[in-house]
Structure 1
Amino acid sequence: MTLIHQALLFDSPSAFLAAAIPFVREGLHRGDTVLAVTSAENEELLREHLDNDTERVSFLSADGWFDSPGRTLNAHHRRIDSLPGSTGILRVLGEPVWAGRDPLETTEWGRYESVMNVALADARAWLMCGYDRRSLPTAILDDARRTHPALAVGTGSEVSAAYADPASYYAEHNVPLLERPTSGVEWLPHFVDMAPVRQFVADHAVRLGVPADRLDDFTLAVNEVATNAVRHGAGHGEARMWATDRRVVCEISDAGTAVDNFLGFLRADPHAGRGHGLWIARQICDLLEMRTDGPGTTVRLHMRRDI
């Protein structure tokens, strides 16, 4: 089987249950691995209507599962890799978390929903993603139709007429990066090896708000991206770091040009000797932005501040 990726747009508890309960029960009947990663209200509904089947479903926190785009994608990979046998599939009844997201986070989570169609294209997985029409903005509901090839309708499915090719969707969202702050930006103007980069992170990251227990991880992520800048750019790069209200940002720029739209979203062959850097960085960081154009390539690594 190949990936099935559906959006469930619902406007009432009954509409949610009409699609969700058959989806879960069919999976349990087939022996699939079934995850429910929904709002607390919908988890309660599921538990009420699944009766004795509740114990066979793994209920997970939506806030924990939808923590960062890179980590959520890798969580799917790990679950798929651990599927028993050769016939069962991973079924995820999910409800992406949109409340409290800022515009950048909302954009990157939309990009994640689209990239899933490429990253998991050959996976043994069926993902049904719930969108509550009563609370979500129209723009997010419209985007759901563009990032999911199919729409769940009752116990059936229909093709989403608005579905956008992931490469086109990805390019469309490559808008210019936000301007850097006019003050408070630390700058490493030139590096050709990694020791100055790691020292740069050590000097500034925690002071700007990176939690102390995430410093080593942040340093590793920056090191991976900076290594790419030296290897694939002009042999050198520059780094900047600053804080926003919510996150610490480390920006690595170089003179090279990247050509793959999905860099860091597609898991590299574990046996390959290279090509893992951006994938690792996406697992560690809360957000990662990447833009490439005539002057070169810029990567911004975002880590939530300790506030």
Structure 2
Amino acid sequence: FSHEAFVYTTSQEFLTGTVPFVLEALERDEQVLAVLSSEKIDLLRTEMAKNVHRVRFVDMATVGANPARIMPVWMRFVDKRVAGRGVRGIGEPIHAARSSAELVECQQHESLLNHAFDSTPAFRMLCPYDVALGPEILEEAARSHPFVYSKGRVVPSMGWGLEGGPARPHEAALPNPPTSFEQLAFAMGQLHDVRAFVTHHAAAAGFDAERTSDVVLAVNEVATNSLRHGGQRGTLTVWHEGATLICEVQDTGQIADPLAGRRIPSPAAVGGYGLWLVNHLCDLVQVRTGPGGSVVRLHVRPNFATR
């Protein structure tokens, strides 16, 4: 797996880097998937008119509003590869319109790609970064990508493996809740109280019945995991950030699988659907785990972003 950061300054420079990357793949009869904004997809389609039918395009706004939903797209792509053929991807999850919380989760996603596909043969992924994002984001990209793609060449990233590199997935600290919040401690036999608590706050936030059902189901799934795996008790904290309802569940358990909620559940599996379902119900999900326990923070807006 070759995970490559590509820094560009203009739309033309974006094309100068991505088009040869794709054309080389097609010359080698490799399968190509590009997960980009609709604007970048239009740029590539126009530039590659003669070969556009050989490239699969997916709108990042459709699949990646919650960055945790991007990983399954790449997993399906790799799983469906034709035997003996290489695969290439272009993915640009980070853009200027991302909120600060979404940005952090995109960076978590980039780090987790290395874990998810480390042993995948003949898979190159190019991750474009607009230089206008700023030096901090570009430095993080250098730390989360083992390689850099520049002028058609792949070279080792100078930031990869340095001290102060990216936090291990799920260990980056979350900002503290605001001073105004409400909290509910729960234990076995009290999931009804959890659901009632969330229903009350969803109604206060102006959620309709369908969206209220979504957030109640999501919190119920996380709280159930706390009861089963997190010491049979937990704490639910709720607050508002503008129109967004934040529900955070904290317990003393640990989440062992860094890809929990991102790995596609097997149809034959018993369990393993909780965080997967949560990721598809919520606008943003932040999971953190460590020696002191686990935190799952759900961001839910009244009008759901693209599922």
Question: What TM-score comes out, normalization by structure 1 length?
Answer: 0.83
- Checking the alignment, whether the CA contact within 8 Å between 2:287 and 2:294 is kept in structure 1 is yes
The alpha carbon displacement at 1:238 in A equals 2.6
Tell me if 1:29 matches 2:27: yes
User: What residue identity is the alignment partner of 2:113?
Assistant: M
Between the aligned partners of 1:209 and 1:121, the Cα distance in structure 2 is: 44
Alignment partner of 1:148 is 2:145: yes
Who is 2:245 aligned against?
248
Residue 47 of structure 2 corresponds to 49
Check 1:119–1:211 CA distance in 2 against 1; reply closer, same or farther (3 A cut): farther
- CA pair 203-272 structure 1, distance change in 2 beyond 3 A: same
Displacement of 1:221: 2.3
- Once the two structures are superposed, what CA deviation does each residue of 1:241-285 show, in whole Å capped at 9, x if it has no partner? 22112521111122x231637262562762443444334333433
Deviation at 1:140, TM superposition (A): 1.0
Supply the distance in 2 between the matched residues of 1:45 and 1:190 (Cα, whole angstroms).
Answer: 51
Whole-Å separation in 2 of the counterparts to 1:42 and 1:304: 27
> What code does the residue aligned with 1:126 have?
R
**Would you say the 8 A contact 2:169–2:258 is kept in 1?**
no
Shift in alpha-carbon separation, 1:11–1:296, aligned structure 2, 3 A: closer
Structure 1: how far apart are the matches of 2:257 and 2:211? 28
Aligned match of 1:38: 36
CA distance in 2: counterparts of 1:274 and 1:225, whole angstroms:
13
Change (3 A) 1:118 1:171: closer
State which of 66, 78, 81 in structure 2 corresponds to 1:80: 78
Q: Distance in 2 between matches of 1:223 and 1:155?
A: 49
Of residues 71-80 and 271-280 in structure 1, the stretch that sits farther from structure 2 once superposed is 271-280
Q: Does 1:200 align with 2:197?
A: yes
- 1:113 Cα shift? 0.7
Structure 1: distance between partners of 2:44 and 2:213: 40
Given that residues 225 and 278 in structure 1 are in contact (C-alpha distance below 8 angstroms), is that contact kept between their aligned partners in structure 2? yes
CA–CA separation in structure 1 for the residues paired with 2:89 and 2:243: 30
Classify 1:189/1:14 alpha carbon distance in 2 versus 1 (closer, same or farther; 3 Å).
Answer: closer
1:8/1:211 CA distance change after superposition, 3 Å: farther
Distance (whole Å) between structure 2 residues aligned to residue 211 and residue 33 of structure 1: 42
User: What corresponds to 1:286 in structure 2?
Assistant: 283
Residue 187 of structure 1 aligns to which amino acid in structure 2?
Q
202-211 or 135-144, which deviates more: 202-211
Give me the whole-angstrom Cα distance separating, in 2, the residues matched to 1:296 and 1:218.
23
| 1:69 alignment counterpart | 67
Closer, same or farther: CA 295–145 of 1 in aligned 2, 3 Å: closer
Is residue 161 of structure 1 aligned with residue 158 of structure 2?
A: yes
Native 8 Å contact 1:264 1:282 kept in 2: no
Aligned partner letter, 2:109: Y
SS in 2 for 1:99: coil
- Per the TM alignment, residue 111 of structure 1 is displaced from its structure 2 partner at its CA by 1.2
* Aligned residue-pair number: 301
Q: 2:263 aligns with which of 253, 263, 267?
A: 267
In structure 2, what is the Cα distance between the partners aligned to 1:75 and 1:189? Answer: 36
CA distance in structure 2 between the aligned counterparts of 1:89 and 1:223, rounded to whole angstroms = 41
- Cα distance in 1, alignment partners of residues 46 and 264 from structure 2: 41
1:189 aligned onto 2:182: no
* Residue of structure 2 aligned with 1:117, choices 109, 114, 118: 114
State whether residues 34 and 91 of structure 2, in contact with CA within 8 Å, keep that contact through their aligned partners in structure 1.
Answer: yes
Contact 2:92 2:129 in 1 (8 A): yes
8 Å contact from structure 1 (residues 289, 301) kept in 2: yes
| C-alpha separation in 2, matches of 1:209 and 1:120 | 41
Whether the 8 Å CA contact 2:261–2:273 is kept in 1: the answer is no
Q: Distance in 2 between matches of 1:242 and 1:250?
A: 7
Conservation of the 8 A alpha-carbon contact between 2:143 and 2:165: no
For residues 165 and 280 of structure 2, what CA distance do their matches in structure 1 show? Answer: 24
8 Å Cα contact 2:94/2:103 also seen in 1: no
| Counterparts of 2:25 and 2:3, CA distance in 1 | 15
Query: 1:268, 1:43 → 2: CA distance?
Result: 26
Q: What is the aligned partner in structure 2 of residue 95 from structure 1?
A: 92
- Residues of 1 paired with 2:137 and 2:110: CA distance? 11
Q: Give the gaps of 5 or more residues in structure 2.
A: none
Query: Closer, same or farther in 2 for the Cα pair 1:62/1:52, shift >3 Å?
Result: same
What SS does structure 2 have at the residue aligned with 1:93? strand
